[in-house]
Chain A
């Protein structure tokens, strides 16, 4: 006979269990998008939103950095070849990618930490493009389009200097033979000094996770939400030298939420001081959360009301209404 509390419990116990059963709900679309990006399966997301090279790059960047911790073992030689192509085209140090391949677990942890917190730059984002989505990467039988065609647009997006020999490497990297890929690895290592020279400037900074303020997107184009929260001069995750608003916003949003959770609400508000086009409501919700964290319920309520006036049917609407009710 079952002695489950659900069957034999007291009324109080059953009531609590019923409440717990009703708890979960569903993850927000932003959470799904963020997780997909972190997994390197943001391609479909980007395709659905028809924003080329946006989330895709962030997600693939994560995958590329996750390579040393096991994913790479699942990638085929074609993927390795694809990696070489994109790296060459975008002017990124190829050696860096392959150093992941042989990296220690400790390195991989650092990479993941960096992935979680670091600003994806144009360079790193371009590096990310080299790894195809996980869904297709594990299927060695799936044909891939010609590499030069596939990765050509990246060169237009990335501001990093290009390697002189990029076309040659890209052509050779089309081969799917693993031994060829390995040869390319060795070849790329030998070109490291030139690559490093080529990376002097924004790209090198980008690889190091340090983007000069001068390279950041113009703040004039981003109207601050609130004059009381001036644009950040410290950490703006959107500081990528590429024109990818979607990606910038996604990472800024992620960073802001982390800041709030870490108790740095002011920092979060600074990060959120720019205009959000793709994640407008999510950014407002994050601002509200930050304001609540600061104890400024009045401004939080006002902002919530404003959001509801403009977007009464968004998924967060009920939360916002509850907030307004709770603060009146």
Chain B
């Protein structure tokens, strides 16, 4: 059955605390002016991309809907804390916290809503023969299983680098992580990914 992924009040408060802590900048960080974007401008410019990133992180369509919406709600609350020019990194980091929170709420890694998402796996395959569709579906399921098995911290840097083409420096800037941490996580993510693929693909 589908996992209940609603973010309850308690967990949302936890999320706020976590985000406040994670976004506290060190003294060495250069202060920037707050963003001049409105919530609406942020939404128009970043919602689709953020939703896509949620999907790449392994969420189902419905989960991505919830996660992207929650990330924007957080951003709307903290609009004055978002630095100018760093709106997208802020949203992405918030999304990662939301995803982590969803995982906690679900008490397990990823459980997909029943039935319909399976159908959506073939959403672009109306002209593809049935056997090819089956292969495609299996590949999609395998890929999503593999990515979901990665620990979230590793998955985030892995997705950013391998799927979205971010450099390690860019990842470091986006996630506010030291370059060494990014490099370490990326190396571990690749090792885990290879191990998972090796185990899953016989």
Contacts and interface: CB of A to CB of B under 8 A. Distances in A.
Contacts of A13: 193-194, 197
Interface string B105-123: 0000000011110111111
A288 B119 CA distance: 11
A161 B122 CA distance: 52
A58 B7 CA distance: 19
A138 B77 CA distance: 12
Contact of B47 (A19, A27, A133): A27
Contacts of A38: 69, 72-73
Interface string A99-135: 0000001100110110011000000000000000111
Nearest to A292: B115
A5 B194 contact: yes
B55 A23 contact: yes
A22 to B, nearest CB: 8
Most buried by B among A19, A26, A62, A117: A19
Contacts of B41: 135
B39 A135 contact: yes
Interface in B116-150: 116, 118-126, 130, 133, 139-140, 142-144, 146-147
B9 A113 contact: yes
Which bracket fits the contact residues of B? 35 or more
A6 interface: yes
B57 to A, nearest CB: 10
B160 to A, nearest CB: 12
Interface stretch (A227-235, A254-262, A270-278): A254-262
B119 A25 contact: no
A135 B40 contact: yes
A298 interface: no
Nearest to B145: A16
Contact of A322 (B53, B76, B122): B122
A247 B201 CA distance: 48
Given A24-B56, A39-B73, A70-B78, A5 B114 contact: no
B52 interface: yes
A285 B61 CA distance: 13
A303 interface: no
Interface of B is mostly: helix
A239 interface: no
A318 B43 contact: no
Contacts of B61: 25, 27-28, 31
Contact of A292 (B114, B139, B140): B114
Contacts of B194: 5, 9, 13
B68 to A, nearest CB: 6
Interface in B180-196: 190, 193-194
Top 6 A-B pairs, shortest CB-CB distance: A135-B40, A292-B115, A134-B39, A24-B52, A70-B77, A19-B143
Interface of A: 3-6, 9-10, 12-13, 15-17, 19-21, 23-28, 31-32, 34-36, 38-41, 44, 62-63, 66, 69-71, 73-74, 105-106, 109-110, 112-113, 116-117, 133-139, 257-258, 260-263, 285, 288-289, 292-293, 300, 318-323, 325-326
Given A35-B65, A70-B76, A260-B2, 5 more contacts: A6-B162, A12-B197, A34-B65, A134-B76, A293-B115
